[in-house]
Structure 1
Amino acid sequence: MLREVTATRYITSLREGGSLPGLVEADDLGTYVMKFTGAGQGRKTLVAEVVCGELARRLGLRVPGLVAIGLDPVIGLGEPDQEVQELLKSSGGLNLGMDFLSRAIGFDSLAHRVSPEEAGKVVWFDALVNNVDRSWRNPNMLVRGGDLWLIDHGATMIWHHNWPGARASAAKPYDASDHALAPFGPDIRAAAEELGPRVTEELLADVVAAIPEEWLRDEPGFDSPDALRRAYAEPLLARAATVHERIRIQDRNQGRDQGRDQGRDQGRIQKGAS
């Protein structure tokens, strides 16, 4: 299970995220980026953050540490922003906190180089969890002390929004053409050889055990939180063995060049016809 702390002060909202995460202090004197059960997709987003964060950490990727944060809605009574106040009021109970990485900056592919080996591990991991939210438009990565950190995994494992279709969704290929690390020549095969065998039934059981039980209750189609935990683990176990075979990466610059060439050809044809 995640370590539990209690929020003692709401500092500010972080409006870069669509779910309106906030920066909070807790009773362990830590500072956390807090994501709320009352926001967006609610507890499913938090579950995805836990599964992906804990899995990434166990595979040797850098992710902020996670805690479960107890929130008393009274903490928002003095908040002047009405939207934030409503969010705090609707998120009483257990929420999710991520260690605040001070002095970290957003990843910029022009300023920070990534080796093919590291890029391959990140792309392989994102394919495993079907992360659709680490594109060059929105990298969801931070750099601190020259090290790459992965953040924001709420938009992963899309199959948990439609459990009857989970098996089919988990078997789909992964298009990494727009991935933020695609330009660095990710070594997918090496990543699969190193990380794939480590995604075992035992490891995944340990990962899903970290999900707080109250986020798993009353899910339609499941008679217990443990049954739902197994449902999270099964697609990942099945996907880990062969997902590298279904990763597609197309050079975006090549696509743009082809588009320009086609445009020039079209222009020549039209000019000749006139």
Structure 2
Amino acid sequence: MKEERQLRQVQVTRYVTPLREGGSLPAIVEADDDFLYVLKFRGAGQGVKALIAELIGGEIARYLGLRVPEMVFAELDEAFGRTEPDEEIQDLLRASEGRNLGVHYLSGAITFDPVVYPIDPLLASKIVWLDCFLTNVDRTARNTNMLMWHKELWLIDHGAALYFHHSWQNWEEQSRRPFAQVKDHVLLPYATELDIVNEEFRSKLTHAHIRAVVALIPDEWLLKDPTFESAAAYRDIYISFLENRLAESEILVKQAQYARKTLI
């Protein structure tokens, strides 16, 4: 059965403030729906591939029942680049005209710290499984990329996931490799239920859903890369990469369990 998903589209109406702690200089903006968003720019140094990883990672996490702020396609008009006085930001805005990715801004949220906020082992295991699946290297003690908002844990910033697409070399081999970087995952010490999670997520994450998430990627983001001739070719590789990792999930879990034993 074919599954269809879609993201809302908004128009950016006001640039509020840059978030300079982010390497790609994201910003808080207001849109025509009167909500605030963290805007991830297509013209940033990491380019549209960070947006693609953010989109795929966030939407898969949401489907698996984890809390992720709503994502929207955010259109940026050329007028913003003409009126911004800061030259660095002006260049970024001009390079990002068109469709970008907006993430709902969780006002008042604070950075998650597992020392301060005890985490349920099942939830920790779900997040570790997800990051092994997505090859997300950016959920460490130095930068957890998790927030506490209204006493609930939310996942943010998946732009460092799916790093295979920065070169495309040996992508099929990479899709079947264990995720060695799991040893640095901030939640690994608490992830005692990986076998249970693996059984649940393998049955839940279907081919139809993977295809539906990958179908969300705008063609113009995919075609910024000259490696392949069509957007369909890129989508096929993303789908195959994710399906291969799902098929090899037991290997991913064993690697995580081994890494966890070395910490205890």
Indicate whether the TM-score tops 0.5.
yes
Residues 152-180 of structure 1: CA deviation (Å, up to 9, x unaligned):
11111111112231111122211322211
Instruction: Give the AA of the match of 2:161.
Output: T
Rounded to whole Å, the distance in 1 between the matches of 2:40 and 2:192 is: 31
Is the 8 Å Cα contact of residues 188 and 244 (structure 1) preserved in structure 2?
no
Q: Give me the TM-score of the superposition, normalised by structure 2.
A: 0.91
Tell me if structure 2 keeps the 8 A contact 1:116–1:187.
yes
Asked if 1:233 corresponds to 2:212, the answer is: no
**Is 1:78 equivalent to 2:99 in the alignment?**
no
Question: What's the offset of the Cα at 1:219?
Answer: 3.4
- Could you tell me which amino acid in structure 2 is paired with residue 160 of structure 1? H
In the alignment, the residues of structure 2 paired with residue 235 and residue 96 of structure 1 have an alpha-carbon distance, to the nearest angstrom, of 23
Match of 1:41 in 2: 46
Which of 184, 207, 217 is residue 211 of structure 1 equivalent to?
A: 217
Q: How many percent of aligned residue pairs carry the same amino acid?
A: 46
Structure 2: distance between partners of 1:41 and 1:227: 21
Offset, 1:221: 4.0
Higher gyration radius (CA): 1
Give the corresponding residue for 1:163. Answer: 168
Cα 1:172–1:83, aligned 2, differ >3 Å: closer, same or farther?
same
**AA partner of residue 13 (structure 1):** P
Q: Secondary structure at the match of 1:154?
A: coil
List alignment gaps of at least 5 residues for structure 1: 255-274
Is 2:33 aligned against 1:28? Answer: yes
Distance 1:229 1:3 in 2: 21
Aligned equivalent of 1:133? 138
Q: 1:195 to 1:218 in 2, by over 3 A?
A: same
Amino acid at match of 2:155: L
Which residue matches 1:197? 203
Superposition pairs of residues 235-254 of structure 1, within 5 angstroms: 235-246=241-252, 247-248=255-256, 249-250=259-260
The two structures have a TM-score, normalised by structure 1, of 0.88
Q: Is the deviation greater in 56-65 or in 181-190?
A: 181-190
Structure 1 residue corresponding to 2:156, chosen from 148, 151, 156: 151
Q: Quick one: distance in 2 between partners of 1:30 and 1:19?
A: 22
Q: 1:217 to 1:253 in 2, by over 3 A?
A: closer
Instruction: Count the aligned residue pairs.
Output: 254
| SS of match in other structure, 1:143 | strand
Q: Measure how far apart 1:55 and its partner are.
A: 0.9
Counterpart contact for 1:2–1:211, Cα < 8 Å: no
Q: Which residue of 1 aligns with 2:190?
A: 184
Q: 1:164 to 1:183 in 2, by over 3 A?
A: closer
Matching of residues 114-133 of structure 1 within 5 Å: 114-133=119-138
Q: Which amino acid aligns with 2:211?
A: A
Provide the rounded CA distance (Å) in 1 between the counterparts of 2:55 and 2:74. Answer: 13
Q: Is the 8 A contact 2:8 2:72 kept in 1?
A: yes
Secondary structure (helix, strand or coil) at the match of 1:67 reads strand
Sort the Cα spacing of 1:108 and 1:38 in 2 relative to 1 into closer, same or farther, 3 A: same
Query: CA offset at residue 252 of structure 1?
Result: 7.2
**Any unmatched runs of 5+ in structure 2?**
1-5
Q: Aligned pair in 2 of structure 1 residues 112, 206: CA closer, same or farther (>3 Å)?
A: same
Q: Secondary structure at the match of 1:96?
A: strand
- Assess if the C-alpha contact under 8 Å between 2:128 and 2:191 holds in 1: no
